[in-house]
Amino acid sequence: DTVLTQSPALAVSPGERVTISCRASESVSTGMHWYQQKPGQQPKLLIYGASNLESGVPARFSGSGSGTDFTLTIDPVEADDTATYFCQQSWNDPNTFGAGTKLELK
């Protein structure tokens, strides 16, 4: 299975720019997607196809990358962005998710 590696946690101040990385163990082309999950809630799709912003998601969120290295950027970060962010690949079977990056606000 394709392993997705994310840094476990980040702490930033409101108004700053944050980048969350996801590295795949093999190429996933642009079949990478990003989700935000808050405690007790279902995941929410933010970015699909590596760089496409899901409808209704603020333009503060953006995604980039292809192949094995991907990035989710939030600029500027707001207090409500406190959550865990997961990457998910759909290029290789089975779909797999990263372990998640917990974003905390200082």
Within 10 Å of residue 45's Cβ, how many Cβ atoms?
A: 14
Cβ 7 to another protein shortest distance, Å: 14
Cβ 16 to another protein shortest distance, Å: 26
Smaller CB distance to another protein: residue 32 or 74?
32
Residue 93 is encoded by which pair of tokens? 């079977």
Fill in the amino acid letter for 104. Answer: E
Residue 89 is encoded by which pair of tokens? 């690949």
Smaller CB distance to another protein: residue 41 or 59?
41
Contact 4, 85 (CB under 8 A): no
Q: Which residues of the shown chain bind another protein in the complex (CB under 8 A)?
A: 31, 33, 35, 41-45, 48-49, 54, 86, 88, 90-91, 94-100
Residue 90 is encoded by which pair of tokens? 């759909």
Residue 49 is encoded by which pair of tokens? 């196809």
Smaller CB distance to another protein: residue 12 or 45?
45
Cβ 20 to another protein shortest distance, Å: 15
